[in-house]
Chains A and B, each alone.
Chain A
Amino acid sequence: MSFRFLTAVIISFVMTTTAVARDYVSISGSSTVFPFATIVAEKLGQNPAFKTPVVESGGSSVGKKSVCDGTGTQFTDIGNASSRMKVKELEYCEGNGVAVTEIKVGYDGIVLANSKKAPLLKISRADLGKALTAEVPDVSGTSWVPNPYQKWSDLNPTYPDITIRVYGPPTTSGTRASFAELINQKSYCGNDKVAKALSAERGDKKGKKCRAMRTDGAYIEAGEQDNLIVQKLKEDPSSFGIFGFSYLDQNSDTVQSAELDGVSPTFEAIGSGKYKASRALYFYVKHAHVGVVPGIEEYMTEWTKHWGDDGFLADAGMIPMSKVERKEMMDRMNDLPALKKDDLK
């Protein structure tokens, strides 16, 4: 009996291995782009002529790597990313003989929020970085010491007299990486004179070492689930949380966002670039698969139908691009220019 089963399994396995060709678009990458990419995929799938694309989540670096792994239907067609491709990542693509086109789809804001029951925090980006980076210069400004600030008011007496306790994503997250780069590195270590000088002294001109977050309990890793962070803020009004704008948008009746340098994160402020803690969202499409896997062109066109100011994507919390940018990206979808190293500099 079992032998007959076994042969049947082996035969069917061999048959499928040779017969399977993929007729759906395969997408993977950033968990920030994921909710938006899935909306677009679902809309495309409603057209009976196309299968719904399969969208995987996993992180920006996974998206950029998987699209560049190689050519052939066992590899993904499109990689999502919430940070731009780096020269090294492009070199990996070129090494595998993969040409990609970069399409920007919109923006996402990173917000620092707390419960509506607590007072609104108005803070400068530099101070926020100072409150959360792992090491700061000591009083004399000659050496690095572990971050000593326990309360927000220790940074500046105008800030509230509450213990610094911020829930945020873990190291695997693109939101965390962007926050550390924009706030800790650029706004604090890049602006604060003492920290800047001291960074240069330890051979770290760009201040990359400032990206490390505190591990003494002031910054608490709450996992990749932003919903959990929102839940924690509701229960504990003295704490803050870091997450993407769409979660603020969905929970605007219970949580509020801090003003960074006097700007609060609204659609308009993030879209116009006034609110600085924001990043662009991209996808990278592999040339060799366009026209081979059915639905890639249509998937791209589907984005253009929903990424406007009144589209489904804005409803879900994605910040739309300006009309000029949208036009430029639509041209790119038609021409498919290959991404080159010069573009990334």
Chain B
Amino acid sequence: MTRSTDSGLLSPQEAAVRVAASLKKRGRSERRFRYLGIAAITLSILFLVLLFAGIFTKGIPGMFQHYVTLDVVLDKGRMDPQGDMSEASLYSGDARGLVNESLLIALGSPEGRKAKRAARSILSSGSASRLTEFTLKHPELIGENVAVKFAVDDDIDSFMRGFISRETPESDRRINDETIEFVDRLDQASLISYEFSDYLFTGSASRDAEIAGIKGALIGSIWTLGVCLLIAFPLGVATAVYLEEIAPKNRMTEIIEININNLAAVPSVVFGIMGLAIFILVFGLPRSIPLVGGIVLALMTLPTIIISSRAAIRAVPPSIRDAALGIGASKMQTILHHVIPPAMPGMLTGTIIGMAQALGETAPLLMIGMVAFIVDVPGGVTEPATALPVQIFMWADFAERMFIQKTSAAIIVLLAFLITMNAGAIILRKKLERRWQ
């Protein structure tokens, strides 16, 4: 039997009907919310896929390039005129001539200045250096006939990839008909191979796209990040411990706290300007060196480390401190033995994220001269160096077409670096994490 009660309350049946009606509505809005969430995630995944597809379709081919294998006679007198096998002697030798001669032989000894010029344009201008390096590595082979792989010129490489069409009129092409004929001849003799580029990881910055590599930039990045870590990590952790555990809570520490938070929001280029003004102009350090770069990046990552370290210290339950103090540990012992160890995973995570951020920065490096064309691989923190993102930025702007693929290849390396660092952060956290019961 159904009836409303006098007290104004709904009967269970009526309530059930109303709830059933509103349930539908609530279910609908819940579904809407879920769909919105799914749509947002799908969209961001779509963009990510697009980005990766773009980078990988260009970058994977950028890791490969075309080589010509030539038989070269390592004539002792011509390779090494001073006879002491020193770098200077090999530099003054005639490696270029030897390479060109063996190329002409491989092409069936074409006659005439124009034909020879066309033939020479096939090989990279770095071929002579490659032969001297080969000789330095294998001094026992001097005087013998050896097969050496030389990179082809970037224009020829673009042609072999089909980026330069044969149908284009000769006057509009970067390579002329005669050169194409020579390339075909080498190709038919299967002297040209397409393989993993050994220049990409062992070569340094170069204006010749085919011999350009990221070694210098990668090592520059490592030096810079090394200096950055060495300064930012101890300073950041010490600051966090002091502010959380030792400093009295007063106006002064409050001001410091606010300023650290503000520092985290300062645009990175400002740190570069400061680095220029203080370390280069006042202290007289040279431009373009990882030491200055590392200090500047350390200042930039300090707030990130301090903030995350403080959060990690705050997450250590007060009962741990009380227990340590209760059994007679000193303040310092409490901090070193019972607060920092459990807070370490959080601190390390913050540090690695800060480092990853520093790895991707170019703006602060611009002001201190690390955005530059630097060929020599840096052997220490006081030798000029550049960084990976800088190399990418510069390659993107060079006119030669082969740099487009090299740029994407370098981006893949940078991404791999970043993913490794972030994965390291996760592993560290999982390994060192302790749960409070």
**Cβ A55 vs Cβ B373 within 8 A:** yes
Which chain B residues in 57-103 approach chain A with CB under 8 Å? 87-88, 91
A-side contacts of B233, CB under 8 Å:
2
Which chain B residues in 88-139 approach chain A with CB under 8 Å? 88, 91, 125, 129
**Cβ A252 vs Cβ B173 within 8 A:** yes
- A45 to B: closest C-beta gap in Å: 5
A-side contacts of B376, CB under 8 Å:
24, 45, 51-52
Confirm or deny: B264 has a beta carbon within 8 angstroms of a beta carbon on chain A. no
Interface readout for A25-45 with B: 1 if CB under 8 Å, 0 if not? Answer: 010100100110111011001
Question: Which of A188-196, A208-216, A220-228, A334-342 interfaces with chain B?
Answer: A220-228
B-side contacts of A49, CB under 8 Å:
88
A-side contacts of B398, CB under 8 Å:
35, 227
**Cβ A2 vs Cβ B399 within 8 A:** no
Confirm or deny: B400 has a beta carbon within 8 angstroms of a beta carbon on chain A. yes
A-side contacts of B399, CB under 8 Å:
35, 226-227, 246-247, 249-251, 316-317
Question: Which of A15-23, A90-98, A157-165, A272-280 interfaces with chain B?
Answer: A15-23
Which chain B residues in 352-397 approach chain A with CB under 8 Å? 366, 369, 371-376, 381-382, 384, 394, 396-397
Which chain B residues in 331-366 approach chain A with CB under 8 Å? 366
Interface readout for B3-28 with A: 1 if CB under 8 Å, 0 if not? Answer: 00000000000000000000000000
**Cβ A9 vs Cβ B287 within 8 A:** no
Question: Which of A68-76, A144-152, A282-290 interfaces with chain B?
Answer: A68-76
Cα A227 to Cα B280 in complex, Å, equals 33
**Cβ B372 vs Cβ A253 within 8 A:** no
Which of A1, A22, A41, A76 is the one whose CB lies under 8 Å from B375? A41
Contacts A5-B230, A5-B234, A227-B396 known; A34 to B373 CB distance under 8 Å? yes
Cα A9 to Cα B164 in complex, Å, equals 53
Cα A54 to Cα B373 in complex, Å, equals 6
**Cβ B235 vs Cβ A42 within 8 A:** no
Which of A35, A48, A74 is the one whose CB lies under 8 Å from B207? A35
Confirm or deny: A140 has a beta carbon within 8 angstroms of a beta carbon on chain B. no
B-side contacts of A22, CB under 8 Å:
286
Cα A9 to Cα B228 in complex, Å, equals 11
Cα A33 to Cα B399 in complex, Å, equals 13
Interface readout for B401-417 with A: 1 if CB under 8 Å, 0 if not? Answer: 10010000000000000
Confirm or deny: B315 has a beta carbon within 8 angstroms of a beta carbon on chain A. no
**Cβ B174 vs Cβ A252 within 8 A:** yes
- A63 to B: closest C-beta gap in Å: 13
Confirm or deny: B231 has a beta carbon within 8 angstroms of a beta carbon on chain A. yes
**Cβ B91 vs Cβ A46 within 8 A:** yes
B-side contacts of A6, CB under 8 Å:
234-235, 238
Contacts A56-B372, A74-B280, A250-B400 known; A20 to B234 CB distance under 8 Å? no
Interface centre among A2, A252, A316 (most CB of B within 10 A): A2
Cα A242 to Cα B1 in complex, Å, equals 88
Cα A248 to Cα B231 in complex, Å, equals 47
**Cβ A316 vs Cβ B235 within 8 A:** no
Cα A312 to Cα B237 in complex, Å, equals 53
A-side contacts of B289, CB under 8 Å:
20
B-side contacts of A54, CB under 8 Å:
287-288, 369, 372-374, 384
Which of A16, A74, A252 is the one whose CB lies under 8 Å from B281? A74
Which chain B residues in 277-309 approach chain A with CB under 8 Å? 280-281, 283-289, 291
Confirm or deny: A82 has a beta carbon within 8 angstroms of a beta carbon on chain B. no
**Cβ B173 vs Cβ A28 within 8 A:** no
- A189 to B: closest C-beta gap in Å: 32
Q: How many residues of B contact A (CB 8 A)?
A: 49
Cα A46 to Cα B96 in complex, Å, equals 13
CB-CB nearest in chain A for B211: A42
- A57 to B: closest C-beta gap in Å: 7
- A30 to B: closest C-beta gap in Å: 13
B-side contacts of A317, CB under 8 Å:
399
Contacts A34-B373, A48-B87, A227-B397 known; A17 to B283 CB distance under 8 Å? yes
Confirm or deny: B420 has a beta carbon within 8 angstroms of a beta carbon on chain A. no
Confirm or deny: B172 has a beta carbon within 8 angstroms of a beta carbon on chain A. yes
Cα A57 to Cα B370 in complex, Å, equals 10
A-side contacts of B207, CB under 8 Å:
35, 38-39, 42, 316
Confirm or deny: B168 has a beta carbon within 8 angstroms of a beta carbon on chain A. yes
B-side contacts of A249, CB under 8 Å:
399
- A108 to B: closest C-beta gap in Å: 12
**Cβ B372 vs Cβ A48 within 8 A:** no
Interface readout for B168-201 with A: 1 if CB under 8 Å, 0 if not? Answer: 1000111000000000000000000000000000
CB-CB nearest in chain B for A246: B399
Confirm or deny: B206 has a beta carbon within 8 angstroms of a beta carbon on chain A. yes
**Cβ A26 vs Cβ B288 within 8 A:** yes
- B109 to A: closest C-beta gap in Å: 23
**Cβ B287 vs Cβ A74 within 8 A:** yes
Contacts A9-B230, A46-B129 known; A253 to B168 CB distance under 8 Å? yes
Cα A312 to Cα B172 in complex, Å, equals 20
Confirm or deny: B165 has a beta carbon within 8 angstroms of a beta carbon on chain A. yes
- B152 to A: closest C-beta gap in Å: 16
Interface centre among B233, B284, B286, B288 (most CB of A within 10 A): B286
**Cβ B287 vs Cβ A52 within 8 A:** no
B-side contacts of A5, CB under 8 Å:
230, 234
> Besides A252-B174, A253-B172, 4 other CB < 8 A contacts?
A20-B382, A56-B369, A73-B284, A249-B399
Binding site for A on B (CB under 8 A): 87-88, 91, 125, 129, 164-165, 168, 172-174, 206-207, 230-231, 233-235, 237-238, 280-281, 283-289, 291, 366, 369, 371-376, 381-382, 384, 394, 396-401, 404
User: What are 29 A-B contacts defined by CB distance under 8 Å?
Assistant: A1-B234, A17-B284, A17-B285, A20-B286, A20-B382, A22-B286, A26-B288, A37-B373, A41-B373, A41-B375, A42-B207, A45-B376, A47-B91, A48-B87, A49-B88, A52-B374, A57-B371, A57-B372, A57-B394, A74-B280, A74-B284, A74-B286, A226-B399, A227-B397, A251-B399, A252-B174, A253-B164, A253-B165, A253-B168
Please list the 6 inter-chain residue pairs (A to B) with the smallest Cβ-Cβ separation, ordered nearest first. A2-B234, A52-B375, A56-B372, A38-B373, A55-B373, A48-B87
